[in-house]
Amino acid sequence: MYGRYTQELGVYAKEEAARLRDGGVRDGAGLRRNTSVRSRTADLLEYQKDPCAKCQSCASRCQKFLISRVGEDWIFLILLGLLMALVSWVMDYAIAFCQEAQKWMYSGLDSNMLLQYIAWVSYPVVLITFSAGFTQILSPQAVGSGIPEMKTILRGVVLKEYLTFKTFVAKVIGLTCALGSGMPLGKEGPFVHVASLCAALLSKFMAAVFGGIYMNELRNTEMLSAACAVGVGCCFAAPIGGVLFSIEVTSTFFAVRDYWRGFFAATFSAFIFRVLAVWNQEEETITALFKTRFRLDFPFDLQELPAFAILGIACGFGGALFVYLNRHIVECMRKQKTINKFLLRKRLVYPALVTLLVSTLTFPPGFGQFMAGQLTQHESLVALFDNRTWCRQGVAEEFDYISHHHGWKHPQVNIFITLILFIIMKFWMSAVATTLPVPCGAFMPVFLIGAAFGRLVGEIMASMFPDGIHADGTVYPIVPGGYAVVGAAALSGAVTHTVSTSVIVFELTGQISHILPVMIAVILANAVAQSLQPSLYDSIIRIKKLPYLPELGMGHHEKYNIRVEDIMVRDLRYITLNSSYRDLQEVLLTSQLKTLALVESRESMILLGSIERLQLQSLLSLQLGRQRRLEYLCQLAQDNGTNDHLSSLTTDSTPSSPCAHTAHANTSTSARQVVRFLVSTQQIESIYFNFFFLLVISQIAEWEEQQLDLPVDFKNCKIDPAPFQLVEQTSLHKTHTIFSLLGLDHAYVTSMGRLVGVVSLKELRKAIEGSVIVTGVKVRPPLASFRDSGNSTSVSEVTELHKLCIRHRGLTLPRELNRRDNDLCQPVVS
């Protein structure tokens, strides 16, 4: 029932164990024993210690917290926003400092080009290598974007070590170094991870200090999804875009009631982030990060829309290509065994080599002069969003009043060539750079490439229509900066499969005048990219093989047509109420499932609940464990008249407790007992005792067999009394919806209470991926074809109902045939 059950159970088990360890629990009239989750470790502990009043006081304390602290969410969100804004601002400051330092070194050595080259190249190589090494040593989980992992975590899967303090430190420092190197990397993906880390750590801190609702697991998920919004929001100072982007990339179903949390935290965070800039005298007041100054009254002509649409479609293909390229690089390196082996041994060689290559190519006096190599991402973007036309004004004229523009100016080369070179080089560089084992995102590089592509299209348009294309008198020249904005939104939207990049560009540029071109281009880019490739984050999820349920594609109509019965596992393992311990053993040995179904009987197959594997293992070991063996031995000894000998042995080692009751947990003691027993039997060395010894062993074996034949006692076992059930006829589409909504791991397929199969995430993933990859051709799984002819499942359903009826009437009717109220009169078993 309700997917997270298993995890809560885990948490509950841990808490219970911890509480038991702390002080033990009073075994109040045997009630608590039956209900609490009994992990084996907890069972092995003693029960007889002082009862603690902790549980009662704890409950009432929680109560108070729950009622009084309605405003706690606000405090938490404000703290989170503040913290993230500070982190973001400090990081930006540090990155700017790093980049300044590189420039200073580079320009200080302008007498000798070799020295200049070494300075230009060594700086990023050192930073990236340090970043890779640092994260590798401290926390390898900090590598990469973090959005795929957050998507998986919000889906309900627990990824170990992804939300620890170590990872936080590794991510922040690693990211600062990686971005400071000037490589084409972004900070937005990692910031989602950093914000989630912040939220998780803050939650832990608050829980430790205040307790109460901060313990609640549901609440923490709500906070994590708010944190993702904060991450994007304070990175771009784009609260609305941040919320929407984080929803699109991390959620499948979004609870609208959590919406305000994200908005509040992201707004607060973005506000503080920009206020810090004002206080630091960087800005006069709060404005956008990449402020544009396009004209308001006539931003674009209606006849330019086809150009925007073409730009969007091209960006769609470009985005798909980027994702393909990125995945292909990783897969290539994995497949090439020699490369793979080498890279695994020398982990820092690959980042160093890639950085060397990239920075060599961008070396300004070298090839870099043709591709604005000396500009940072920020500077390039500001230049690309400029509201004047570059080509019409000539390359030289009026170009240097914004200092960044000189990067684009080249005496010999056309501005078009520069832009094309910039796009092509940055494209593969970004695709390669995002595969580096450092904390890095791909959003910003892609955004930049998109902007450059848009600028290119805009400049071409401007040179084609130097006086604009408006028919009526007034001349409205074409604004290539608008194309740059549209291109940036479209390409980043295509790569991430989101439409909210449009909102992000409005917030980044501070202008919304190009809303329609942006929306049209983003939607077209998405349509193209989604039909060709998964999103970058889904692609990484596949590469990393994270346990995530893929999305149904855009044209997912065929999903209505596949049913659960086509994909479910029919040959499933289960336990019945009558199962013996032998069956249990067999089931545990032959299957690897985490949970097993409990049915009424093999005949009726009525699903009663599900039991976790661990629970069953503990049941089995309770029945056949060392304790029980020893008890049996004691019993045996008593029956055979060797009372004195054995009791002296047992009292020797365990002076206080009687043998058969309150069994002892000290394993070393019991082991010693057996050894002593054996030694003592051999010491006597009489035939009688040798024979007795053999007899004992055979008797133990016999006892074991007997024990295995006993029916399982489920009394001490925690059973999930209402596991999630589906019907055979449920469509794949609905199944996917339910699995994503409730974060399920598996669901039982039942028919009239009878268990007929099980569907897990694995089967579902296979079914979806199978049909997504081969769209339009192989959508029906093999079993689907049987369905149309004959409706066999429905027949069996009816037959089963009949069987049930017959079974029941067979039991009750012979006695009570033709009597009134034949089931109202049945005696109720107390």
Residue pair 572/755 in contact (Cβ under 8 Å)? The answer is yes
* Residue 796: CB minimum distance to a copy of itself, A: 11
Residue 813 near a copy of itself by CB under 8 A: yes
Chain positions 759 to 778 lying near a copy of itself, rule: CB under 8 A, are: 775-776
Rule CB under 8 A: choose which of 296, 344, 396, 687 binds a copy of itself: 296
Residue pair 377/444 in contact (Cβ under 8 Å)? The answer is yes
Alpha helix positions (H), 662-790: 667-684, 687-709, 732-742, 761-773, 784-788
> In this chain, which stretch among 86-94, 406-414, 653-661, 706-714 interacts with a copy of itself, using CB under 8 A?
706-714
Using DSSP bridges, classify how beta strands 574-576 and 595-599 pair: parallel, antiparallel or unpaired. Answer: parallel
The phi and psi torsions of 510 (rounded to 5 degrees) equal 75, 10
Alpha-carbon distances, residue 144 vs 188, 190, 218, 235 (angstroms): 11, 7, 27, 17
Residue 297 near a copy of itself by CB under 8 A: yes
Chain positions 609 to 668 lying near a copy of itself, rule: CB under 8 A, are: 609
Residue 733 near a copy of itself by CB under 8 A: yes
- The CA distance from 408 to 373, in Å, is 9
Q: In the numeric block, which tokens belong to residue 825?
A: 């009169």
* Residue 72: CB minimum distance to a copy of itself, A: 8
Residue 271 near a copy of itself by CB under 8 A: yes
Between residues 219 and 613, which has the closer beta carbon with respect to a copy of itself?
Answer: 219
Between residues 555 and 658, which has the closer beta carbon with respect to a copy of itself?
Answer: 555
Chain positions 416 to 445 lying near a copy of itself, rule: CB under 8 A, are: none
Q: In the numeric block, which tokens belong to residue 460?
A: 């071409």
- CA-closest candidate to residue 266, choices 293, 296, 290, 245: 245
Q: Count the site residues for a copy of itself by CB under 8 A.
A: 152
> In this chain, which stretch among 336-344, 370-378, 400-408, 798-806 interacts with a copy of itself, using CB under 8 A?
798-806
Residue 73 near a copy of itself by CB under 8 A: yes
Chain positions 550 to 579 lying near a copy of itself, rule: CB under 8 A, are: 551-552, 554-558, 560-561, 576-579
Rule CB under 8 A: choose which of 274, 405, 664, 746 binds a copy of itself: 274
Residue 61 near a copy of itself by CB under 8 A: no
* Residue 293: CB minimum distance to a copy of itself, A: 6
Residue pair 674/666 in contact (Cβ under 8 Å)? The answer is no
Residue 391 near a copy of itself by CB under 8 A: no
Dihedral angle computed from the Cα positions of residues 442, 448, 449 and 450, in that order, rounded to the nearest 10 degrees = 100
The phi and psi torsions of 25 (rounded to 5 degrees) equal -120, 135
Between residues 558 and 763, which has the closer beta carbon with respect to a copy of itself?
Answer: 558
* Residue 325: CB minimum distance to a copy of itself, A: 24
For residues 208 to 247, the per-residue mask of contacts with a copy of itself, x marking binding by CB under 8 A and - elsewhere, is -----x--x-xx-------------------xx---x--x
Rule CB under 8 A: choose which of 11, 201, 275, 413 binds a copy of itself: 275
DSSP 8-class letter at 256: G
Residue 737 near a copy of itself by CB under 8 A: yes
Residue pair 318/494 in contact (Cβ under 8 Å)? The answer is yes
Residue 815 near a copy of itself by CB under 8 A: no
* Residue 44: CB minimum distance to a copy of itself, A: 22
Residue 43 near a copy of itself by CB under 8 A: no
Residue 804 near a copy of itself by CB under 8 A: yes
Between residues 665 and 710, which has the closer beta carbon with respect to a copy of itself?
Answer: 710
- The CA distance from 493 to 252, in Å, is 17
Rule CB under 8 A: choose which of 21, 61, 166, 291 binds a copy of itself: 291
The number of beta carbons lying within 10 Å of the beta carbon of residue 580 is 15
- The CA distance from 624 to 42, in Å, is 18
* Residue 702: CB minimum distance to a copy of itself, A: 12
The number of beta carbons lying within 10 Å of the beta carbon of residue 145 is 25
Rule CB under 8 A: choose which of 160, 398, 788, 815 binds a copy of itself: 788
- The CA distance from 734 to 470, in Å, is 51
Residue 108 near a copy of itself by CB under 8 A: no
- The CA distance from 158 to 152, in Å, is 8
Alpha-carbon distances, residue 774 vs 292, 476, 548, 771, 778 (angstroms): 44, 48, 20, 5, 6
DSSP 8-class letter at 441: B
Residue 92 near a copy of itself by CB under 8 A: no
Crossing angle of helices 72-108 and 188-209, in 10° steps, is 140
> In this chain, which stretch among 42-50, 316-324, 589-597, 725-733 interacts with a copy of itself, using CB under 8 A?
725-733
Between residues 547 and 550, which has the closer beta carbon with respect to a copy of itself?
Answer: 550
* Residue 176: CB minimum distance to a copy of itself, A: 26
Residue 27 near a copy of itself by CB under 8 A: no
For residues 174 to 213, the per-residue mask of contacts with a copy of itself, x marking binding by CB under 8 A and - elsewhere, is ---------------------------------------x
DSSP 8-class letter at 472: S
Rule CB under 8 A: choose which of 57, 63, 393, 667 binds a copy of itself: 63
- The CA distance from 362 to 94, in Å, is 22
Residue 603 near a copy of itself by CB under 8 A: yes
Residue 349 near a copy of itself by CB under 8 A: no
**Residue 667 half-sphere exposure, CB side, CA atoms within 13 Å?**
5
Rule CB under 8 A: choose which of 335, 545, 661, 715 binds a copy of itself: 715
Alpha helix positions (H), 280-414: 305-335, 337-345, 349-361, 377-384
Residue 600 near a copy of itself by CB under 8 A: yes
Crossing angle of helices 667-684 and 643-653, in 10° steps, is 140
Residue 704 near a copy of itself by CB under 8 A: no
Q: Which residues contact 624 (CB under 8 A, 6 or more apart)?
A: 581, 704, 707, 708
**Looking at the chain, how many residues does it have?**
830
- The CA distance from 338 to 747, in Å, is 43
> In this chain, which stretch among 394-402, 429-437, 638-646, 727-735 interacts with a copy of itself, using CB under 8 A?
727-735
* Residue 388: CB minimum distance to a copy of itself, A: 15
Using DSSP bridges, classify how beta strands 725-726 and 746-751 pair: parallel, antiparallel or unpaired. Answer: parallel
Chain positions 113 to 152 lying near a copy of itself, rule: CB under 8 A, are: none
Q: Which residues of 715-725 are buried (b: 16+ CB within 10 A; e: fewer)?
A: eebbebeebbe
Rule CB under 8 A: choose which of 54, 61, 64, 66 binds a copy of itself: 66
> In this chain, which stretch among 167-175, 417-425, 642-650, 813-821 interacts with a copy of itself, using CB under 8 A?
813-821
Chain positions 487 to 526 lying near a copy of itself, rule: CB under 8 A, are: 499, 502-503, 506-507, 510-513, 515-516, 519-520, 523, 526
Residue pair 37/13 in contact (Cβ under 8 Å)? The answer is yes
Rule CB under 8 A: choose which of 432, 738, 761, 783 binds a copy of itself: 738
Residue 599 three-state SS: strand
Residue 302 near a copy of itself by CB under 8 A: yes
Between residues 86 and 727, which has the closer beta carbon with respect to a copy of itself?
Answer: 727
